Structures are given as structure tokens and as C-alpha cells.
Structure 1
Amino acid sequence: MNNGTGPGAAPDPAPNTGTSPGPAVTARRVMRAADRATLSTAQRDAGGWPYPSLVLTALDHDASPLLLISDLADHTANIKVDPRVGLLFDGTAGLEEPLAGSRVSVLGRAERSGDPRHRVRFLARHESASLYAGFGDFAIYRVAVESAHLVAGFGRIRWIPGDDLLFRLPDIETLALREADIVQHMNEDHADAVELYATVLLGREGGGWKLTGIDPDGCDLRLAGRTARLDFSSPVFDAESARRELVDLVRQARRTRGETQA
């Protein structure tokens, strides 16, 4: 059994049985819900000392982290010398006992991306970043994940190989190609459903929530500077499966609202 002692430890198999998600699903949920992370790089001019910094994050459809960073930043200069990075995704906000909450440490290599889809997905998650994303010193970097360390509360610790954490490219292509159409359709024709997702299922306040992205694990929502994450019950890989899941979530929200009003 894995005792959580290091990245070389064998992962502890924990299949997704019943209603309890497995470690890979749990880790992706923490990562996708976060809109920022702590980035650790090896400081190039200080003997390789770990250098932590705050970065905004988005996740690709396969769950690879995406960063928009400037060539003028120390962490970017460090990455150009040594691409190995660590990212801490913190899911403990608002808990009375933070150490009882979930967090994920991701180890991988940051690579500059020329894929325009990565830029689109990042800016959909962080609309305000469009104010500086076009500056010549800014670029999108994708983190090629090698492993992840999930701490999901006291005693719930797992190392997850990158191949187990990420979805494979052929599985995600269909949904990725339809993402823009689905998001536009939901916002233009089913704004009431999006509002139910945010206010009833997620308990968020305010009106005018918008869908900003959809991926195999769920969908992203935003209202002004606030973001929210709605998880699917199981991964979806095409538009029809996504439609069924979104319809089921509307039904769930209406049942919940009815029980509240009763």
C-alpha cells in the first residue's frame, strides 16, 4: 500500500465504487474548481532553491494545467532553464479545519503552447486576462503532468500517475470541438438552466451567471469576477452525453427547488 512518502511510491488503487469517486476523479475536481494555484519553480540564480509564486490557472479538456505567464516574471525565466514545476491546487478555502480539506500537488514540465485552443480556454476561464494576454511578453504554457499527490483529508493520501490523472487525447477531441457551440447554446437558449445550476445546485448568489466552459468532468460558470464549478456525475466525451447530463442537472435543480419551497 502506498504510504504517501514520495513520487516514486506505488499508487494505491482506489476504484470508483458506489457514490465515492476514485482518487483521479477527486484530484481533477479539486484542480478544475480552482482558478489559481501556487507555482513552484527552481530559482535559476539562487542554486535551484524552490521559488513559489501565485498564478492563475485553467485546465485543458484532458486536465492538463494551463498558465498565462510573462517572460518578465522570475518563474518564467526559471522555467526556461528548468521546465520542471510543481503546482499546488488548494480546495480548503472556507473550511474550519483546512487540513481536513482536499488539495492536489501536481508535478510536471511546463512547455510553451502554440495551440490557439489553449489560449481560448484560458481566457474563457479568466476574462479579465484578455486585457494583457495580447502583450508580446505573455504566452500560454501547458504543464505536462508526470504525477499528482492528492491529500483528501486526514489519512486519505494518494500518489496518482499522470497517465491515470489525465484523459487521453482521442477521448476528448469530440467534446472539445463542440465546446464553443454548447456554451453559446446554453447561454443564449437556456440561461434559466444555467441560473439554476449556480443558485440551486451550487448555492451561489446573484443573477446573470454564464457558462464559460465544458469538459468531460463538468462545466465552469462565471458572474463578474466570481467563478463556480459544477461537476458531472460521470465523465462525458461527446455533445449528446453532455446534453443528457445537463438536462439531468436541470431536473435535479428543479426537484431541489421544489423541496425547498414546499
Structure 2
Amino acid sequence: MAGIAAEARSLVRLSTKGSLATLEATSGAPYVSLITLATEADGSPIFLISTLARHTRNLVADPRAAILLDGTGLGSPGGGDPLQGARLTLSGRAERTDDPAARRRFLARQAQAAFYADFPDFSFWRLEIEGAHFIGGFGRIVDLSPEDLLVPVAGAESLLEAEEGIVAHMNEDHADAVALYAQVFGGVAPDPAAPPNPAQPPWLMSGLDPLGCDLVRGTEALRIDFKGRIHTPQDARKELVRLVDEARATLGSA
């Protein structure tokens, strides 16, 4: 179960989009739409939606909702066959959030949304997870609880307060380290035979939490797990330095 829960948590962190299921405000019939996603520090999904959209009107009338995440193409087993790859349905209640951290983490993950994020009809929402159903391929079907999926953040308050500064510092002053994380731990080493592509954006750190950090490059996403749980900014610094040292050692021995 621990391995499946970890796989499900990784799928949530890696997913940049999902299918949002709501209940029609007028008839109660199911309605499904596509949304872009990010996560709060604890792993709760967050999304940005407009009051002009049907799904928003549905949530205002009835907050019950579900989000389906498809792991096809995100490194899950099964290759291109979606029925052999991992998928996860998160169910719970959606609620609007004005938390600045939710806004920051979403826009770090979905940079294109900055264009319309401040439009008066748009607002940020989070899904309060009440349960989940994970399918990891044939014979791997498990129901998961919120405790299986969410990262406890109690005791890590100073880390979360410093997260914005840590992420900015890594992107502005240690872009080489972020690139190393992606190359060594994310398995995205550049093709030595491919010509340089100056139009290719760099990997950026988009978020950090007690169990790891998230990287993005355009629509691509990576999750880098820490060796152990961290609680403070000092812990984060030590772990990020350790990852750089490990990455360099790995490349040196390759």
C-alpha cells in the first residue's frame, strides 16, 4: 500500500491538467470539463476558474466534485495505452481560496494563466480531498484516504513561510543546480546528438514542501523527492545542497 500511495502522490504532483466532474446546478446531472492544475504544499489540487464557466456555477450550487488524473505519458507504466497506465480519481468538496500561496504556486506551475488570473470573474479553488480511487494497471486497484495522499505540514510552518524566497533564490542564483536535478533525478538528460535549442526554456523550481520539490519547463513537470522529511529553511538548504552533490557524483561516475 505504501508504494501505491507514493505513486498516487507523485501522479498528483506531476499532473498539470485534469478532468473536473461537477453536478449540474439545474438538473443534478454529471458534467465534466478540462482544467489546469497545481498543488498546495500538502498536495491538495488547486485550479483557477471563471464564474462564466458552467463548472463554477455548478460548484457554487453544490461543492461536491471529483478530478480525474491520467498518468499516460507522465512516466507511469503502460506506455501509450491509457488503460495500462496509472490514473487517479480524487473526490471531495471544492472551495474558493484567497491564500496568496495558492495563487503563487499555481502561477509558478501555469505561467500562461498570469494573463487572466486577475480578471474579476476568475478565482482560485482547491479540492478538499475526502477520498481517492487509484488504478495502476491490471489488478492494481486501491481506494486511498486523504492521509495516504496529503503531506502533513504541521511543524513545517517556517519552511512554508520561506518557500517563496527559497524557490526564487534557486531559480535566480542556482539555475545550474535546478538543471542538474532535472537531468539526474528527473531522467531528462539532453540528447548529446541534438543541436542546442536556444528557444528551449530552462527548468524552473515551482514549489517546495516537506517531502520534495517540483520543477517545470513549459508544460512538462518533474517531482524531486527528498531523502527524508524536512521542517525548516535550514533543512531545505542542506537537502538542496546534498542533492547537488549527489547529482554531480552521479554524473562523475557515469
| Alignment correspondent of 1:140 | 124
Structure 2 match to 1:103: 87
Residue 243 of structure 1, CA deviation:
2.5
Whether the 8 Å CA contact 1:90–1:104 is kept in 2: the answer is yes
Q: Which residue of 1 aligns with 2:100?
A: 116
- 1:178-197 C-alpha deviation (Å, 9 max, x unpaired): 11121122123322111111
What's the CA shift for 1:215? Answer: 1.6
Q: What root-mean-square deviation, in Å, do the aligned CA atoms of Structure 1 and Structure 2 show?
A: 2.0
Contact 1:29 1:231 in 2 (8 A): no
Equivalence for 1:238: 232
Aligned residues: 240
Q: Which residue of structure 1 lines up, in the alignment, with residue 53 of structure 2?
A: 73
What residue number does 2:202 align with? Answer: 208
Stretch of structure 1 that moved more, 92-101 or 108-117: 92-101
Residues 1:188 and 2:179 are matched in the alignment: no
CA 1:137 to 1:249, structure 2 compared with 1: closer, same or farther past 3 Å?
Answer: same
Counterpart of 1:258 in structure 2 is 252
233 and 49 in structure 1: CA distance in 2 versus 1, 3 angstrom threshold: farther
Equivalent position amino acid for 2:163 in 1? E
User: Counterpart in 2 of 1:58?
Assistant: 38
Q: Deviations over 1:91-128 (max 9, x none)?
A: 12261433332221100100111222211111111111
For residues 134 and 244 of structure 1, the distance between their equivalents in structure 2, rounded to whole angstroms, comes to 36
Q: Contact (CA 8 Å) 1:40, 1:85: kept in 2 or not?
A: yes
Q: Give unmatched runs, 5+ long, in structure 1.
A: 1-13
Q: Which residue of structure 1 lines up, in the alignment, with residue 24 of structure 2?
A: 43
What is the rounded CA distance, in whole Å, between the counterparts of 1:231 and 1:52 in structure 2? 32
- Does 2:70 align with 1:90? yes
After TM superposition, where is structure 1 displaced by more than 6 Å over at least 4 residues in a row? none
Q: Distance in 2 between matches of 1:49 and 1:232?
A: 43
- TM-score by length of structure 1 reads 0.83
Q: Is the CA contact 2:201–2:218 (under 8 Å) kept in the aligned structure 1? A: no
Q: Percent identity?
A: 45
Q: Secondary structure at the match of 2:154?
A: helix
Distance 1:191-1:162 versus aligned 2 partners, 3 A rule: same
Q: Give the equivalent residue in structure 2 for 1:26.
A: 7
- Say whether residues 1:165 and 2:159 are aligned partners: no
Q: For residue 64 of structure 1, report the CA deviation from its aligned partner.
A: 1.1
Q: Which runs of 5+ in 2 are unaligned?
A: 191-199
Match of 1:221 among 209, 215, 223: 215
Normalized against structure 2, the TM-score is what?
Answer: 0.86
